[in-house]
Structure 1
Amino acid sequence: PEGGAEAAVPMLVDRLMPGPLAGLVFGAIVVGALVPAAVMSIAAATSFVRNVYVEYVHPTATPKRQVRIAKAVSLTAKLGAVAFVFGLRDQDAINLQLLGGVWILQVFPAVAVGLYTRWLHPRALLAGWAAGMVTGTWLVVREGFSSIVPLGPGGGPLEIYAGVAALVLNLTVAVACTAALHRLGVPRGADATDLPSRLMVRRRPETGANNP
Structure 2
Amino acid sequence: MDPPASDLGSWSARRIVRNMFPLLVGLSVIVLWAGLRLEDAEELLAEYGLLAVMVPVMVGMGGNLGAIVSSRLTTRLHLGTTAFDPRDRHLWVNAVATLALAATVFTVLAVGTWIIGLLVGNGMPLGTLLFISLTSGLTLAAIAVVFSVATTYGSYRLGIDPDDTTIPIVTNVVDVFGMLVFLGIARWTLLG
Fold match (TM-score > 0.5): no
- Whose relative contact order is higher, 1 or 2, with alpha carbons under 8 Å and at least 6 apart? 2
Structure with the larger helix share: 2
TM-score where L is the length of structure 2: 0.33
Find the structure with the greater CA-based Rg.
Answer: 1
TM-score where L is the length of structure 1: 0.31
